Amino acid sequence: MNPYFYLKQVIGDYWNCDLDEKTINSSDFFLKAAKDAVKISKTSIIKYVGHKFDPHGYTLLMVLADSSLTLHTWPEEKFITVEIFSCSERSEPEKGLNFLQKLFNPRKYEIKHIKRDI
């Protein structure tokens, strides 16, 4: 086994988020939230692109030093999903998703760890 080969995929699903209409439709809010989550996850952003959908919804894709982050919103359902994929043992994506859980204040949430290996 290659000691430099390490994969960690963590997904946070957040239902019935307690965010007002302006906030849950704000691409700036989600960009800042994702940037903060990346920092808390102990990695860094290389590049990102976001797209705001009409009439609502936002998708953000980030290339990270250790892999990637994706964020998708469904404001009409007050649902948000975030996935952080990492190929570094030093990163802590769970901490970033826990930060987002507190920020989004959902009535229900689930953090899923997906085992990835060769």
List 27, 56, 68, 72, catalytic entry: 72
List 26, 41, 67, 88, catalytic entry: 67
List 27, 56, 68, 87, catalytic entry: 87
Active site includes 17?
no
Active site includes 87?
yes
Report DSSP letters for 3-69, one per residue: TT---EEEEEEEEEE---HHHHT-HHHHHHHHHHHHHHTT--EEEEEEEE-SSS-EEEEEEESSEEE
Cα–Cα distance measured from residue 42 to residue 8, given in angstroms and rounded to the nearest whole number:
14
b/e map of 16-40 (b: 16 or more CB within 10 Å)?
Answer: ebebeeebbbbeebbbebbbebbeb
Active site residues: 67, 72, 87
